[in-house]
Structures are given as C-alpha cells and as structure tokens.
Amino acid sequence: MTGATRIAVIGGGPGGLYAAALLKRLDPAREVTVWERNAPDDTFGFGVVLSDETLGGIEHADPVVYEALRGEFVRWDDIDIVHRGTRHTSGGHGFAALGRRRLLRILHERCRSLGVELRFRTPAPPPARLSQAYDLVVAADGVHSATRAAYADVFRPRVTGHRCRYIWLAADFAFDAFRFEIAETEHGVVQLHGYPYAADASTVIVEMREEVWRAAGFAAMDEQESVEHCAKIFADALGGHPLRSHKSAWTTFRTVVNERWSHGNLVLLGDAAHTAHFSIGSGTKLAVEDALALAACLEEQPSLAEALTAYEEERRPVVASTQRAARASLEWFENLGLHLDQPPRQFAFNLLTRSRRVTHGNLRLRDPRFTEAVEREFGCPPGTPPMFTPFRLRGLTLRNRVVVSPMDMYSAADGVPGDFHLVHLGARALGGAGLVMTEMVCVGPEGRITPGCTGLWSGKQAEAWRRITDFAHRQSPGTAIGVQLGHSGRKGSTRLMWEGMDEPLPEGNWPLVAASPLPYTPDSQTPRQLTRAQLTDIREQFIGATLRAARAGFDLLELHCAHGYLLSGFLSPLTNHRTDAYGGSPAKRLRFPLEVFDAVRGAWPEERPMTVRISATDWAEGGTTAEEAVEIARAFAAHGADAIDVSTGQVVAEERPEFGRSYQTPFADRIRHEVGVPVIAVGAISSWDDVNSLILAGRTDLCALARPHLYDPHWTLHAAAEQGYEGPAAVWPAPYRAGSRRPRTGRTDAPRPRLTLGG
C-alpha cells in the first residue's frame, strides 16, 4: 500500500466521488477532501447507464454502494429502432439505469458516512498548490478540465471536435426500451436517443448535424424554445408528452485523448483523461472503472509512482478500445444520412452493430429471431451465413464474400513467380476464399518495390503465372484468382521487407520515377518527375502487362492506385506537386490514373471484372480527405470500375493512422453508399463474425483479409466449419474432407462425482 494519507479530489462527479469513497474505505485514516464548484444537485444530463461488468466491480469493491444502487435501477432488455414509420425491436441486450441525481446522492451519502469531506460550491485551489499540500491529487474535473489545461505540456492532450450538436433533455414517462428514432425533417436528419432511468422518467438526447441545427433555427432559440421544438419533432415517440430541461444547452461532443495521465502526485480520472461518445453509454462507466482501478493500484503497489504507472497501464488499453468503439458509433450517427434508404431491418441491424462491439454473432445469441429476419431480407438461404452468399462482378460470380488480400511475398527471381508462389497462392485457393488476389505484380523492372517482387513484363513471367492460375482453377473449382497490377513509383528500389522495409538497397539500386521529385523518407532515393513521354511509356507497360495477365488466365484485374505507389502518388496532393495538366486540382491529379485505367480496361477482356484499390485517406494533414476519396471512387466507377477496393494510408511516411479493428471499413461504407459502387473492405478484419457483420449491415460487399490468411490458409473453410455451414460456397477439396471437422484433443466425457460428503 502506498503512503498517500492526504488526498485531494477535484470534481464531484460520479468518478471523483466514487474514488474518494473507495480510497477512504480502504484506509479510514486517510484525509480525503472533494472540491466541487457546483451545488450538490447541479448535474449535466438526467439518466446514467451502467453495465453488469461495472456493477460487478462495484459490488466487490463496496457492497454498500452496490446495494443502494441495486434498489434504484430500472432494467430492460430491448432496443427499439424507429425509421420511416417502421419500428423494429431487438431483445436480449440487458441495460440498467438510474437517475444521475440519485446516483450522486448515493455517493454523497457514502462519502459522508465514511468521513470524506465534501466542499460544494467551492472551486478547488490551483492544482500546483494542492500538489504541494496533499500526497495525491485526483483530477476528476471533467471534459473541460482546468487541471489538464494547467499541465497541457505534460499531459499533451488532443481534443477533437465533431460534427453534431446535441442536447440532454428528459420526459416524465418511461420508455419501454432503449429507443432510437430517426426524423427526416425539411432541414435534414434529426435523431433521438432515449432510455428510461426511473419508473416515470426517461433521458432524451436529441442530436443532428451542425448544418441541420442551424437550418432548423435552433441557433436563434432560447432553451425553452429548443425544448418545445424537439418535443414537436418527436411527438409520436413521446406520445405527446412534453420534454423538460435543466440548464440544458446545445453542445458538440469533444473526444479527449491524453498522452499521459499523471504528473508527479497528480492523476487524471474520467472525462479529464478521456471521453467516449454518449451513444455507447460509456462516460460514467469509464469514470467509475477508473476509480476502481486507481484505488486497487494504490492498494497493491508499494509507492505512489508505481501505483500511478500501474493505473495507467491497466486502464489505457481498455479506454482506447472503448474510444475506438465510441468513435465508430459517433461517426455512424454523423453520417446517418448514408443509410436511410436501406431496407428497414438492415438499417436496424446496421445501427445495432455500428460500434463494431455488437456483432452478427452477438445478435444471433441475444435475439435469433430478429437476426434471422435480417438475414432473410438480405437474401441468405436458410442456414447460410451472410459471408457465404454469392456476389457477381460483371461476368464473374464469386461463390462467397471472402477475398485473400494482396500480400507482397518478396520471393520472386527476376520478377518470375516460382514454387513458393504456387504453394502460397495454391494453398489459399484450396482454403475456400471466393477470390484470391496476387501480390502487387509490377509492370516493369523499374516498377518493382524490391528485387524480390513479381512482374508481368515478360512472356516467361506470364507462363509462370499461368501455372498458378491453372492449379487454382483445376484443384479448387469455383475459386477465382485475381491479379493486382501496379508500379512502385517513389517507393521502389528498397530492401526485402524483413531486411529493412522502405530502406534503400545497399547496392544495385535502379532509378525511380514519380509524379513529383519527392523522396518517401529522408533516406530514400529522390525520384525523377515523369515527363509526358515517360507517362506514355508507363501506360504502355500497363497495357502489355494486362494482355499477359489475360493470357495467364486471371479472372479479375485490380489496378493499384493506393499506398503511395506510382498511381497513388498522382492522386494525393502531398505527393503530386506538378503544375502541368497532371497536377493541381483533384481532376488534374486524377488524369493520369484514369488514362491508365482506360487503357487497361480496353485491353482487359470485356466479360472479366476490373477493380481499383485506393487510399481513402492519407492520415496526414493536407492529404487526401474522405470527401475527395468519394470523388476519386466516383471517377473510377464512371470509367467502368466494377468495384473499389478501399484501403487507406501508406502514402506519406509521416502518417498518423487511427488503427483498430475494422478501422478502414467506414471509408468503404461511405463510398458504397455515396457512389453506389460495390466495395471491398480491408483493414484489421480478423474474424468471420466481423465479415458477417459488415456484409449483413450493408457496409461492404466483399471483405479482404491478409494476416488471417497467413495464419491459416484454410481460414474460410474453417469459418464455415465453425458455423456449421456445409453448402456450395465453401467446398472442401476431396483430399481434405476428412479434416473438415476439428480434431479431438482430449477426453471430455469423464464421469462427474455423484456425491459430495461434508467433513
């Protein structure tokens, strides 16, 4: 146990109060003081939702608080989604809520009973002074934390604003479910989030995009006028009941992330350290869990410094995961208009799975009847998971929605794929995926990334590829195999990945070309800016490679316009600084990639589909935006692309990606709905549950997976076996059928004891 005997808590919200109570309970000799600038009953919002997991932690840490809360909770299982007059209900979710004021009173009473000093209507002294006077200072002073601001150079906060305005209100009746209602007004889309928090009261949050809020006149309304207008918009949902407010104001959500959570004897907790959008009900939950973890670490660690380090190490990954889910949910609601025309049940499923925490598998367990109805509406035959439904691209029908993503193997000699590629791609073709893609196949020797990259600039290479496609078609009938054509541009002439990714060759370098003479990294070779004559030569290289790909028997061709390679380098304003007809405006930056696309499409057999991979964002300031990516996709679709393979990043070395599970799929979702073109989603899609969820929600048409197929070449067949699917979309090769069920690994049928005798 640490020696913190005098503790100051800045902020009397649930997190600060619960931390104070726990710290005092664990050591009654401690002097714990809470400063709260507002009155005891002043609070933002009305109801609070807590998960069973959080309540379990409270029960173990402080049974007195748990028992007080348990007597107050309103519980329900259903979620209602109302859209265009249709209401769909999904059950089995399990919520518990109570009034925020009641929660605060319970915590006030617990603090007083333990001897915590509560100072209401009293601003806390400056944190520097508290740090000198107390052993530990807990800053639980909220999203606008003055403590965080005072030490911004230490905590290094990033505060991100978002696109919607929202207001917390209440109604004097209880919804019978967690309710999402969508109103399409003359000014735009408005959504209601509502849930009961007492037998006769509900929280109501009204949210809309900033431009809708302004167009509807809310900016000019006072508090009461806003409340009345919201009640009018959602009169049906409210059953004619009025709404009420308590110092409610329209605001925009701000996501808070800090690089550090502690400084000396001062530590951040709750919204001061991190925020997560209310649409996943996580703010109070995270603050209470922070308090539990902080108290435990102070109890377990021998010193304050070690305790604060342990607290941050324990909580940071949990918070980061929650923030990723909250960000996905927030952005889904920001872009709600994209999904309004979906079939009603699919729309409801899409909303329920928006954060990627609730999945197709979760919903099948919670509410199989609802999930099966969504599947029927989607077109899934009985017993067929969404991932095993067919999909047609031009003259090619894929038997399922799984794509083995292009993965550079760096194992060719003079551009010729050898036995390694036959085994690598052949194994994945036998593994059940609907489409198996090659790595980026280079159109010329100087278009390689490394000396180990494959090519299609010679007949010998085409013959070697034909050996591979023949094997796939003969040994795994129904599996399509696609080729990805590209040119490395400024990212070429580098070492093999495992020898130093993106590092120049120690010797034997070849000259590089690019849209502009900009090196990829400071240590990279500076490329030459392509002349008009050279652009023509490269276009001809693409045509030649396309003709060879057709003769080699590929079923689909993908043009690589992503990841900072040559064609991608023309698209991004960060890598294209040209002042001629191929640089400047988005239309001019698109010109050469479209010229290449048209040339390739003209050389590629008409009945075979062609896709384009793009980077939908550069993850860097001044780079390609999501809005520009939509227009890039629209241009390729207008020129005949059958699908857009939506990746992100790898365009500039200074990128700052927002990694996370399925983190690139929102870009594919947006392109699919705004452009109306089929899309392939990529990026940390790792489970068949993710694939089913994304397909059924209508966020993508196909899912491309890379690392899972390195881990398990038979990933798709194993996904079928694990789901009990044995249909035509996942056919085991005859020699492998005996392995279509998981082998037994040990005895599981040992007899259980029939009788236990007491001593």
Report the C-alpha gap between 681 and 665 in whole angstroms.
Answer: 5
List all residues 6 or more positions away from 573 whose beta carbon is below 8 Å from its beta carbon.
589, 622, 623, 624
Candidates 227, 225, 234; CA nearest to 190 is 234
313-352 as b/e: b if 16+ CB within 10 A: ebbeeebeebbbbbbbbbbbbbbbebbeebebbbbbbbbb
Candidates 192, 293, 198, 202; CA nearest to 241 is 202
Q: Which two tokens stand for residue 421?
A: 């590629």
Report the C-alpha gap between 356 and 360 in whole angstroms.
Answer: 10
Report the C-alpha gap between 489 and 322 in whole angstroms.
Answer: 39
Q: How many CB atoms lie within 10 A of CB 557?
A: 25
Helix (H), strand (E), coil (C) string for 294-349: HHHHHHHCCCHHHHHHHHHHHHHHHHHHHHHHHHHHHHHHHCHHHHCCCCHHHHHH
Q: What's the angle, vertex CA 316, arms to CA 312 and CA 322, rounded to 5?
A: 150
List all residues 6 or more positions away from 272 whose beta carbon is below 8 Å from its beta carbon.
11, 139, 140, 141, 142, 143, 145, 147, 148, 256
565 is catalytic: yes
Question: Which residues does residue 255 pair with via DSSP β-bridges, in sequence order?
Answer: 160
Q: Which two tokens stand for residue 434?
A: 């609907």
Q: Which two tokens stand for residue 371?
A: 């999930």
Q: Which of 520, 565, 663, 725 is catalytic?
A: 565
Report the C-alpha gap between 721 and 742 in whole angstroms.
Answer: 8
Residues 217 and 188 sit within 8 Å (Cβ to Cβ): no
- By DSSP bridging, strand 79-83 and strand 86-90 are antiparallel
Report the C-alpha gap between 700 and 680 in whole angstroms.
Answer: 6
Strand positions, DSSP E, 259-347 = 262-263, 266-268
Q: What's the angle, vertex CA 596, arms to CA 591 and CA 602, rounded to 5?
A: 125
Residues 736 and 435 sit within 8 Å (Cβ to Cβ): no
Grouping H, G, I as helix, E, B as strand and the rest as coil, residue 6 is strand
- CA 357 to each of CA 199, 323, 327: distance values in angstroms, whole numbers, following the listed order: 29, 11, 12
Which ranges in 156-222 belong to alpha helices (H)? 210-215
Q: What's the angle, vertex CA 250, arms to CA 244 and CA 253, rounded to 5?
A: 125
Helix (H) or strand (E) holding 253: strand 251-258
- CA 495 to each of CA 323, 417, 453, 510: distance values in angstroms, whole numbers, following the listed order: 37, 18, 11, 12
Report the C-alpha gap between 243 and 228 in whole angstroms.
Answer: 7
| Rg value, the chain, Cα | 29
Report the C-alpha gap between 194 and 74 in whole angstroms.
Answer: 14
Q: How many CB atoms lie within 10 A of CB 607?
A: 8
Report the C-alpha gap between 233 and 231 in whole angstroms.
Answer: 6
For the chain, how many residues are written?
759
N- to C-terminal Cα distance for the chain?
38
Report the C-alpha gap between 340 and 673 in whole angstroms.
Answer: 10
Residues involved in catalysis: 565
